Chain A
Amino acid sequence: MKLLYSQIQNFLLNKNHQFDRVNQALIELGIEVDALIHYDYENIFAVKIENISPHPNADRLQIALVNDGKNKYKIVCGAKNIQVGQIVPLAKANTRLGEIFITKSTIRGVESNGMLCSEVELGLGDDHSGILILKPETKIGTKLSQIYPNPTIFDLSITPNRPDFYSALGIARELNAFLDQKTTDFKSENLINWQKNDFNIKNLAHSYYLIELQNIKNFETPKEIIFELKTLGINPKNNLLVDLTNWANIVYGQPLHAFDKEKISGEINIRQAKKGEKLILLNKQKIALDEKDIVIADKDKSVALAGIMGGLETSVHEQTKTIILEGASFNQDLIRATVVRSGINSDASVRFEKGVDPNLPSYVLEKIYKIIKKTNPELKIIQAQYQNNFTLKTAFYQSNFCQKLSGINIDEKKQFEILQTQGFKKINKEQFEIPSWRFDIEGSSLRQCEIVEDIVRFYIIDKLPEKSISKKQKQINCLEAKFALSAYLAMQGFNEIISTSFCSPKEIELLNAKDKCPKIYNPRTIETAYLRPTLLMGALKTVLHNHAFKTHIIFEIGTVFDKSLKEYEKLICLCTKNQKNILEKICHDLNIDPDNIQSLDEKIVKELKIRGQALYYFEVDLKNIKLAKKFKIELKNIKYKSFSNFSPSVRDFSLWINDKINQNDLLEELKQSDQHILLAEIFDQFKSKEGKTSIAIRFVIDPIEKSFTEKDIDVILNKITKLITKKGLIIR
């Protein structure tokens, strides 16, 4: 959720906190700051354009000479809408503008001392067609922060247990408690004389408020609100009611809905939908309602899908004379059920499905009334009605429970203080009234941990002690046998792969396994349509993926599935014909019948266009394997080097070496001879009858930036050859 820092600040009781302190506090409170978008308006000034000249080296650019009242600056500018005499915003060098950072720079040979800014560069909206032209009466040298509030934007992740954080108000309330130990009261000013109505809200809503307003003539949205919406990336509709509703959602966390009074017949009420009832929503979607859905209805029909979206027929437009504005706190579980059933989401439902403070609607409706009244002095309240059906819950909490869970004894008085600043009210030593906006706290003795969470969060986790647990004797590791198997196979030269558990319909057809494996009922892509009945597909995909290599020698240990959803742990070993003897050795060592070794089905070879040497493999149940000796995965010092998306080249070299040569050093040196050499490994080695040693080295050459041509590879191979000869070694 995106919020302006200024929107939060409006609700802060202490306005003197440094921005960094507030930012840090959010993290300490568990409100994750995904992104911070900052515009340094303090370093942007209104300047007058005194002269415009063409750029000597670029037709599309111009050079503007601007004056901030003290100095003149030469600025290179690409926008075409500037004229001499205009007042425009200049971002001087070293200014942060969201993603961009302005520095002094030379553009096509001309020095530019900053940037003239468009609306989009200033985070003020999405108009990037030209430089933002300020009002002609703007005094030059004025900081932009004096014209527009600084749009520092927080992009926050709100956890589903704290719906009260879905607004500037809710976050500020927590900050006031945390930073200043102050409880914030959002009480109405009693501007509106609310009359209790007989809405039959039952368990459908915790509170329900309606206010009927007449004489809205000016539908223009105040410019501050347009500014705030634009900076948050919400397109203002310049319709007061629509914009205000969007704005109230963000600022107060209170979804509102406006009805056109003339389209409503009789009294509004709240009920569950009737069987077969239908409704056309604001987005023109026609939906069949379920008997569990909450609807707002007049005497004839439903007019809104409560908490989610209003109906099209009763929506307001600029000719609307009388509106009914609704603010409510609906039963979150029922709203959620409708959202899940219907798949319809909205900014309102995001809040209602998790719970909205039942005390909030009266406060927010009053604020909104005041804003409308400001530009519509003749605004009249026809009636204001409400109904409540909630009582504040109490929580049982014994202060010694805190130590039991946190490991630290926080003074009882301190604990109670923390709770009180968060809006809990002490009834007696063990009883607290839970704030109306906290839907996450249940209050039973069993769930006292939820109260402890609030206490230690304010105490800050960093201040809690830490304690190592005792050393103990090694226990059973059910993966030990699998690790031993992997270690053994790697020693035999096999490379472990881990492949996807899924198969596509095409792959299943190829394996002729349509009736042998489970189906996924909601795959997002066809790649995840089935669960694998065999490890073979993963191994074959590996062969195809590594077509630049002539030799394959791989294994996987993994789970496969059958139609009845049973899981089997299997081992597959697959290799090219030149390694087949190792496959036989493995069968022997693992006590597997060598008859399990098979060559890859001709049909599959053809279908997958597998070229090169024939492939052999076996796939066996892990249960049937016995590894006599113990093996352990050896530690390895890993230095990872990234590689490109282009196909690598693999080249083998055989050379005679003498015994004085350290093979590892030689490999390392060869690797360094060109940056494209990713790997150099010895794969074969023998002694001739004359006593000379021959080694075979395989080089994996990665193209890094572009596909290789034969010429590129030759250059690298030459370097290798040169180095080998230089060392006095002979290539066979």
Chain B
Amino acid sequence: MNYILKQSMKGTIHPITRFISDTIDIFSQWGFEVVTGPEIESEKYNFDVLRIKKNHPARDSHDTFWVDKKRELVLRTHTSAAQVPVMLKRKPPVRLLIPGRVFRNDNIDATHMPLFHHIEGLVIDKNVTIAELKGTLLDYIHSYFGKDIKVRFRPNYFPFVEPGYEVDIWWDNKWLEMLGCGMIHPEVLQNMNIDPTEFTGFAFGTGVERPLMVKYKINNIRHFYNSDYRFLKQF
């Protein structure tokens, strides 16, 4: 009789799952709670309460999928869509991480897919300032990419934060966009039933595929969804 030692090779975890899990591990040291939201979201939570008003040009950058005739329900275009509904069930102080799948009605190419992943972060407390925003995100990026990585903050505009920033990292001799962030807009805090004169907060949103593509030099976003074993088995 032959004695079987090992029947099959070990399976693999998808890099997207790995990234989300790694990120949660980093943030768990600061007591971030991990929550999720639905993939089909109301126009109100995906846009309106985040100050992306109907007819506002800021909506142009969100190529939206509509799932009902009346155009009131969308496939969420960002995990920020979960910010307000999640906060309506909580009181500050909070530290939250909201990972998930998001959708844009984009044409497919090497860097665009109609779906990809986001991780949203939210910190609301008394006396939260840009200093804490910078500190937290620098700590995170240094943990994931290494202590020596050069990081740059650059002003940018997102309707639901003010001021808003884009964070770049210096990688392969150029600056690469890594995530968006900012101080939560007081009108958004009001939409969460939070008094903006008492509390402040910051929010950030990072892509998942993009940092993975940067870190491992993956040249095509489609690899994440084509499930080629040559790809999957490397993770």
Asked if A pairs with B, the answer is yes
Q: A residues within 8 Å of B by Cβ?
A: 27-30, 32, 159-162, 333, 336-337, 340, 353-354, 403-408, 446-447, 449-450, 452-453, 456-457, 461-462, 464-480, 483, 486-487, 489-502, 518-525, 527-528, 531, 538, 541-542, 545-546, 549, 553-555, 559, 561, 565, 567, 579, 582, 633, 636, 638-643, 648, 678-679, 681-689, 693, 698, 700, 702
Q: In the complex, what residues of A have CB within 8 A of residue B196's CB?
A: 446
Expressed in whole angstroms, the Cα–Cα distance for A519 and B66 within the complex equals 9
Beyond A447-B186, A477-B34, A639-B234, 19 extra complex contacts between A and B, CB < 8 Å:
A32-B166, A406-B131, A407-B131, A466-B131, A491-B11, A496-B232, A501-B115, A518-B40, A518-B67, A520-B75, A522-B66, A545-B228, A567-B39, A579-B8, A633-B17, A633-B18, A681-B9, A684-B6, A686-B4
Closest to A446 in B: B186
Q: Are the C-beta atoms of B68 and A161 separated by less than 8 Å?
A: no
Query: B31 near A: Cβ within 8 Å?
Result: yes
Expressed in whole angstroms, the Cα–Cα distance for A693 and B6 within the complex equals 11
A680 to chain B, nearest CB (A): 11
Query: B89 near A: Cβ within 8 Å?
Result: no
Interface centre among B4, B123, B228 (most CB of A within 10 A): B228
Q: In the complex, what residues of A have CB within 8 A of residue B190's CB?
A: 446
Closest to B123 in A: A469
Given contacts A496-B12, A561-B40, contact A685 B6 (CB under 8 A): yes
Q: Which chain B residues numbered 56 to 74 have a C-beta less than 8 Å away from chain A?
A: 56-58, 60, 63-69, 71, 73
24 contacts between A and B (CB under 8 A): A27-B154, A161-B157, A404-B129, A405-B130, A407-B129, A447-B186, A461-B154, A462-B153, A464-B131, A467-B131, A467-B132, A472-B29, A479-B21, A483-B17, A493-B8, A493-B11, A531-B67, A567-B38, A579-B8, A684-B6, A684-B7, A687-B3, A700-B233, A702-B230
Q: B residues within 8 Å of A by Cβ?
A: 1-18, 20-21, 24, 28-36, 38-40, 55-58, 60, 63-69, 71, 73, 75, 95, 99, 101, 103, 105-108, 113-115, 123, 129-132, 134-136, 138-139, 152-157, 159, 162-166, 183, 185-187, 190, 196, 200, 216-219, 224-235
Given contacts A479-B24, A545-B226, A687-B2, contact A633 B132 (CB under 8 A): no
Q: In the complex, what residues of B have CB within 8 A of residue A640's CB?
A: 216-218, 234
Expressed in whole angstroms, the Cα–Cα distance for A636 and B13 within the complex equals 10
Q: Are the C-beta atoms of B227 and A407 separated by less than 8 Å?
A: no
B62 to chain A, nearest CB (A): 12
Expressed in whole angstroms, the Cα–Cα distance for A565 and B129 within the complex equals 39
Q: Are the C-beta atoms of A479 and B36 separated by less than 8 Å?
A: yes
Expressed in whole angstroms, the Cα–Cα distance for A27 and B154 within the complex equals 7
Q: In the complex, what residues of A have CB within 8 A of residue B64's CB?
A: 522
Residue in contact with B24 in the complex, picked from A407, A449, A477, A522, CB distance below 8 Å: A477
Q: In the complex, what residues of A have CB within 8 A of residue B234's CB?
A: 638-641, 679
Closest to B125 in A: A469
Q: In the complex, what residues of A have CB within 8 A of residue B232's CB?
A: 495-497
Closest to B5 in A: A685
- Inter-chain contact count A-B, CB under 8 Å? 303
Closest to A452 in B: B163
Expressed in whole angstroms, the Cα–Cα distance for A351 and B81 within the complex equals 28
Interface centre among A32, A502, A528, A636 (most CB of B within 10 A): A528
Expressed in whole angstroms, the Cα–Cα distance for A446 and B188 within the complex equals 11
Q: Are the C-beta atoms of A528 and B130 separated by less than 8 Å?
A: no
Residue in contact with B65 in the complex, picked from A29, A494, A522, CB distance below 8 Å: A522
Q: Are the C-beta atoms of B230 and A160 separated by less than 8 Å?
A: no
Given contacts A688-B2, A689-B2, contact A469 B33 (CB under 8 A): no
Q: Are the C-beta atoms of B153 and A461 separated by less than 8 Å?
A: yes
Q: Are the C-beta atoms of B12 and A642 separated by less than 8 Å?
A: no
Q: In the complex, what residues of B have CB within 8 A of residue A693's CB?
A: 5
Given contacts A449-B162, A493-B11, A700-B233, contact A521 B71 (CB under 8 A): yes
Q: Are the C-beta atoms of A466 and B134 separated by less than 8 Å?
A: yes
Q: Are the C-beta atoms of B11 and A492 separated by less than 8 Å?
A: yes
Q: In the complex, what residues of B have CB within 8 A of residue A404's CB?
A: 129, 200
Residue in contact with B219 in the complex, picked from A30, A500, A642, CB distance below 8 Å: A642
Q: Are the C-beta atoms of B157 and A162 separated by less than 8 Å?
A: yes
Q: In the complex, what residues of B have CB within 8 A of residue A678's CB?
A: 230
Q: Are the C-beta atoms of A336 and B67 separated by less than 8 Å?
A: no
Residue in contact with A553 in the complex, picked from B11, B36, B63, CB distance below 8 Å: B11
Expressed in whole angstroms, the Cα–Cα distance for A159 and B58 within the complex equals 8
A211 to chain B, nearest CB (A): 30
Q: In the complex, what residues of B have CB within 8 A of residue A527's CB?
A: 114
A8 to chain B, nearest CB (A): 18
Expressed in whole angstroms, the Cα–Cα distance for A68 and B226 within the complex equals 58
Q: Are the C-beta atoms of B36 and A405 separated by less than 8 Å?
A: no
B138 to chain A, nearest CB (A): 6
Q: Are the C-beta atoms of A159 and B9 separated by less than 8 Å?
A: no
Q: Are the C-beta atoms of A472 and B134 separated by less than 8 Å?
A: no
B108 to chain A, nearest CB (A): 8
Interface centre among B21, B135, B159, B232 (most CB of A within 10 A): B21
A459 to chain B, nearest CB (A): 11
B44 to chain A, nearest CB (A): 15
Q: Are the C-beta atoms of B55 and A336 separated by less than 8 Å?
A: yes
Expressed in whole angstroms, the Cα–Cα distance for A446 and B190 within the complex equals 10
Q: In the complex, what residues of B have CB within 8 A of residue A472's CB?
A: 29-31, 95
Expressed in whole angstroms, the Cα–Cα distance for A546 and B66 within the complex equals 33
Expressed in whole angstroms, the Cα–Cα distance for A396 and B187 within the complex equals 16
Q: Are the C-beta atoms of B114 and A565 separated by less than 8 Å?
A: no
Counting from the closest, the 8 A-B pairs by CB-CB distance are: A472-B31, A30-B155, A407-B129, A407-B131, A159-B157, A640-B216, A466-B134, A493-B8
